[in-house]
Structure 1
Amino acid sequence: MDIYQFFCAGINYKKTDASVRGCFAINPIQYASLLQKAAQSGLKELFVLSTCNRTEIYGLAHTACELTTLLCSETSGTIETFNELAYVKQGPAAIEHLYNVAAGLDSQILGDYEIVGQLKQAVKFAKENGFIGTLLERMINGALQASKAIKSCTQLSSGTVSVSFAAIQFLKAHVPNIQNKKILLLGTGKIGASTCKNIVDYIGNCDITLLNRTEGKAESLAKSLCVNVASYDNLYEEIAESDVVIVATNACEPIILKEHLLNSSNKVLIDLSIPNNIDTAVKELPYIQLVNVDQLSRLNDQTLQKRLAEVPKAKSIIAHHLQEFKEWYYNRKYVPVLLAVKEKLIAMHDCSLYASVHTDSRKTIRPIDNGAIQKVINTMAVKMRCTHQPGCNYIQAINDYIGCTTN
């Protein structure tokens, strides 16, 4: 496994807006189809990370083109558009990018820790389908360990700053008497649940109603947070009665259209979805204010300034974990030799020359000493890493074993 066959290709908020990113978002059905195509193409290790800020494909391939073609085969966006806007990283640069993403250093809101859960979910799905091998698993574990250390040892994720929290900041700043407004929240997944909890915690006991296609999920969350729940069948009636509508669903196309809001009262609509689940044409209505994830992420907060000061510490932690991964990777090349030597040491017990000097007083060959063999192999591994002379170390290993078993 050559790390220079590891690629990352993707688009993110730095060069694209929410509408463009929406064309390359991957939902669970598309992800499953993509992995089926990967198997047919001979690609064996990969995963896709698709969030409101980015869509990236990571994997082992001969060229990055294999991965980008595979990704775009499942998106509404074209390969030509993707290549024009995408970044491609290879080998150590791709690995470092993964570590930065996992740490929240590459997030639209610096230190946004929601990315960790999204990364774990993306990898879990790929692993369940057999696309996470030894190299990727070790790499991902290292990235998650670095992320955990950064969260524990720095203030990079301190305070309450995320897209879901930014929505609350926006409402408090731009909606007078928000505590007296009727708020409708569509979608009770991770972002929806986080947004609802933030409303309860930071706005207070206002009129909140939850809707979700799977009504059981909405009912469970509503019960835990003591808020209202309504049937998804009454979606448009609930929208008409609400002052604020927050959408955190995962639909492939808008579920709220301009026509649904004709002759409506004044409303604030917040779209936390990628692709957009509120048609941007609603902005043409003078009584509608529409805000999306890009606008929310630009909100300034003192917490973000504090986080910037923590970046050097986070980078130092990442460098340490990257070095550990590189050492693991380069040591793996010695494994076949070490296993071969171990097998030879065990096989030596059948050698007549070895038997002639390793018999006890009853002329019985001494049993295999597995402890001694492992000790010799460990010593050989250390010497190989230091001297890079496998042949000499092989001979020395045999001498060491004979020496420690001749008493």
Structure 2
Amino acid sequence: METGQFFIAGINYKKTDAAVRGNYAINPEQYAIILQRAKGAGIKELFVLSTCNRTEIYGIAPDATTLVDLLCAVTIGNKSDFVQRCYIKQDEEALQHIFAVGAGLDSQILGDYEIVGQMKLAIKFAKEKGMIGSFIERLFNTVLQSSKQIKNETALSGGTISVSFAAIQFIRQQLTDTLDKKIVLLGTGKIGRNTCKNLVDYLDTKNITLINRTAEKAAELAESLGLQYADWSQLENEIHQADIIIVATNAEQPVITAKNLKVDSKKILIDLSIPHNIDPSLAQQDNVLLANVDDLSKINDQTLQKRKAEVPKAMNIIRKHMNEFAVWNHQRRHVPILKAVKQKLHDMHSCGLFLTSRRASEDINTEAIQKVVNNVAVKMRNRHQPGCYYIEAINDFMTSSH
């Protein structure tokens, strides 16, 4: 399949740990800089997917190095380390990858569909900056259709398993009873909200205090679930009293450190953020049990095994949608020729080259010309193959003089 120079360069959980991935995570300001510089680098279309499990840059570019340079120029990680750890995929392989990502087949927890929402936001942001064209837009829409069909027709996402749910399972493994344990949850974004609801549903506890930099968001979620909330200024006091601290913030530096957390009793710390929002060095303290997203991904159960059995079904659906995209991508290259044919016919009509009688002139109108163009399109779809000279004949027609 020909897709031009469509590249993906990225790192994910398979070859890099959470600390390394954090060096290449990007925030909205960094993303905006990448998009601003992209056109000057000869890139036609581009978006960046940065989550707790991966940072990937997708684009139609002169080469993959151009994409890597753009990404590494705004991150705290250096280019040489990125190149050693990254994967680069082009054209067919790149298409297979984005379909797998959208289906949850490449997620750290198999079948996790949170990635779809993250992809939507990444592409929406790039589109607002003028870096999404017809290729990526059509590609992503096809990926969404494939993902939706997989979700509806397979059990790839069956059962309850996600990073937020894995956090609950981790707590269960450490504690037989959580009713008397005080839980503090930092961050009320999507992952924070999901984790909060799982805490209420699966641990059957209301002894939860929510803290968010925007206090109104914490208050709204707390009131809807019958929980408590505290202002960010009360952070140090709240975490000191807590038995379990879960962090789902999106800060560039740790928000829980040895400076604000005084450990005088056993505490479970769970960091759902990339880069780390809990200082990893806290794990060295007595009475501290710290888990990050990589630790949580290792928690397996029967649900995961059932999901693995659904992978072949998902792959069949992906192949079907990839073929549909390949047909569209093949046909879209004919558009410039068809536009030129239409213009040529209009020019010939204007010059009177179709004029054999007054009646003939009246019959040859815009609708008739469009009919001819449509017929040409059908023939091009059906005859563009080795040994066929239809395209060459069209080109001869286009270059002929009136």
* TM-score with structure 2 setting the length: 0.93
Is the counterpart of residue 48 in structure 1 residue 48 in structure 2? Answer: yes
> In the TM superposition, what whole-angstrom CA distance separates every residue of 1:230-253 from its partner, at most 9, and x where no partner exists?
100100100011111000001111
> In the TM superposition, what whole-angstrom CA distance separates every residue of 1:212-246 from its partner, at most 9, and x where no partner exists?
11111111222222211110010010001111100
| Deviation of the 1:7 alpha carbon | 0.6
1:48-197 → structure 2 map (5 Å cutoff): 48-197=48-197
**Conserved in 2, the CA contact under 8 Å of 1:4 and 1:90?**
no
1:230-241 → structure 2 map (5 Å cutoff): 230-241=230-241
Equivalents in 2 of 1:20, 1:257: separation in Å? 19
Equivalents in 1 of 2:253, 2:137: separation in Å? 34
Could you list the runs of 5+ residues in structure 1 that have no partner in the other structure? 398-407
**Conserved in 2, the CA contact under 8 Å of 1:9 and 1:86?**
yes
Equivalents in 2 of 1:29, 1:333: separation in Å? 35
Superposed CA RMSD in Å reads: 1.9
| Deviation of the 1:260 alpha carbon | 2.8
Is the counterpart of residue 385 in structure 1 residue 396 in structure 2? Answer: no
| Deviation of the 1:97 alpha carbon | 0.5
> Alignment partner for residue 365 of structure 1, among 361, 366, 378?
361
Aligned structure 1 segments of 4 or more residues deviating by more than 4 angstroms: 391-397
AA partner of residue 165 (structure 2) = F
1:1-12 → structure 2 map (5 Å cutoff): 3-12=3-12
| Deviation of the 1:395 alpha carbon | 9.7
Is the counterpart of residue 301 in structure 1 residue 304 in structure 2? Answer: no
**Conserved in 2, the CA contact under 8 Å of 1:6 and 1:90?**
yes
**Conserved in 2, the CA contact under 8 Å of 1:69 and 1:79?**
yes
AA partner of residue 374 (structure 1) = Q
Is the counterpart of residue 225 in structure 1 residue 221 in structure 2? Answer: no
* TM-score with structure 1 setting the length: 0.92
**Conserved in 2, the CA contact under 8 Å of 1:50 and 1:56?**
yes
| Deviation of the 1:368 alpha carbon | 4.7
> In the TM superposition, what whole-angstrom CA distance separates every residue of 1:190-212 from its partner, at most 9, and x where no partner exists?
11111111111211233111111
AA partner of residue 70 (structure 1) = L
Size of the aligned set, in residue pairs, is 392
**Conserved in 2, the CA contact under 8 Å of 1:7 and 1:88?**
yes
Equivalents in 2 of 1:265, 1:376: separation in Å? 81
Query: 1:16 maps to what in 2?
Result: 16
Equivalents in 2 of 1:255, 1:112: separation in Å? 27
Equivalents in 2 of 1:350, 1:77: separation in Å? 61
The change in CA–CA distance for 1:263 and 1:100 in structure 2 (over 3 A counts) is: closer
Equivalents in 2 of 1:29, 1:346: separation in Å? 49
Query: 1:404 maps to what in 2?
Result: none
Query: 1:334 maps to what in 2?
Result: 334
AA partner of residue 249 (structure 2) = T
**Conserved in 2, the CA contact under 8 Å of 1:208 and 1:228?**
yes
**Conserved in 1, the CA contact under 8 Å of 2:18 and 2:293?**
yes
Secondary structure of residue in 2 paired with 1:328 = helix
The worse-fitting range, judged by mean Cα deviation, of 329-338 and 98-107 is 329-338
| Deviation of the 1:285 alpha carbon | 1.1
**Conserved in 2, the CA contact under 8 Å of 1:4 and 1:92?**
no
The change in CA–CA distance for 1:196 and 1:166 in structure 2 (over 3 A counts) is: same
The change in CA–CA distance for 1:266 and 1:324 in structure 2 (over 3 A counts) is: same
The worse-fitting range, judged by mean Cα deviation, of 42-51 and 121-130 is 42-51
Query: 2:313 maps to what in 1?
Result: 313
Query: 2:387 maps to what in 1?
Result: none
> In the TM superposition, what whole-angstrom CA distance separates every residue of 1:331-375 from its partner, at most 9, and x where no partner exists?
112111211222233334334342223x23xxx831554443333
Aligned-pair identity in percent equals 55
| Deviation of the 1:177 alpha carbon | 1.1
> In the TM superposition, what whole-angstrom CA distance separates every residue of 1:9-44 from its partner, at most 9, and x where no partner exists?
111111111111111111112112222232443433
The change in CA–CA distance for 1:391 and 1:81 in structure 2 (over 3 A counts) is: closer
